[in-house]
């Protein structure tokens, strides 16, 4: 009797996740350690870093330089920042930062038109190495 009630509830709760076009994919605890949870949605990798926005912005520029990306544009305001660059293979890279407090910054990375999850994650990890 309990199983008959339990199975429809599971199906009803899982249906929205099975039918969405771009569900968020969370990475394992190893990748998320020290950076909060990482998420992938609509071509953007998103995570948080426990540092002020100014330091994260500088680290993002240094990380893109490590990938030999040519910086096209950048902006830094008290609560948000952006670095726009071009990879050697011609793909556009955008790193957006948003201040979540004095010592916490949200980082969003997108590589290419549709998003390259593996390269975005490499750039995110390289940003953390520069902090």
E runs forming strands in 14-115: 25-26, 39-41, 44-49, 70-76, 80-86, 92-101, 104-111
Residue 44 within any structural domain of the chain: yes
Residue 4 within any structural domain of the chain: no
What pLDDT sits at residue 80?
97
Residue 7 within any structural domain of the chain: no
Domain count within the chain: 1
Residue 16 within any structural domain of the chain: no
The string of pLDDT tens digits covering residues 71-112 is 999 999 999 999 999 999 999 999 999 999 999 999 999 999
**pLDDT, mean of residues 59-70:** 97
Domain extent, residue 106, equals 24-129
Residue 69 within any structural domain of the chain: yes
> How would residue 37 be classed by pLDDT, with cut points 50, 70 and 90?
confident
What pLDDT sits at residue 34?
47
Task: Supply the CATH number for residue 105's domain.
Answer: 3.30.310.80
**Closest CA relative to residue 98, chosen from 79, 73, 76, 82:** 79
Residue 5 within any structural domain of the chain: no
Residue 121 within any structural domain of the chain: yes
What pLDDT sits at residue 121?
97
First to last CA, the chain: 56
Q: What is the mean pLDDT of the chain?
A: 83
Residue 96 within any structural domain of the chain: yes
């Amino acid at each position: 009797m309990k199983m008959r009630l339990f199975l429809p509830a599971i199906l009803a709760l899982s249906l929205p996740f099975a039918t969405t076009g771009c569900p968020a994919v969370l990475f394992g605890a190893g990748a998320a350690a020290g950076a909060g949870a990482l998420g992938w949605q609509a071509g953007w990798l998103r995570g948080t870093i426990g540092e002020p926005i100014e330091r994260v912005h500088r680290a993002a520029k240094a990380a893109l330089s490590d990938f030999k990306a040519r910086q096209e544009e950048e902006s830094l305001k008290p609560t948000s920042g952006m670095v726009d660059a071009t990879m050697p293979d011609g793909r556009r890279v955008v790193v957006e930062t948003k201040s979540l407090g004095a010592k916490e910054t949200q980082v969003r990375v997108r590589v290419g038109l549709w998003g390259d999850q593996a390269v975005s994650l490499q750039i995110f990890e390289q940003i953390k190495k520069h902090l």
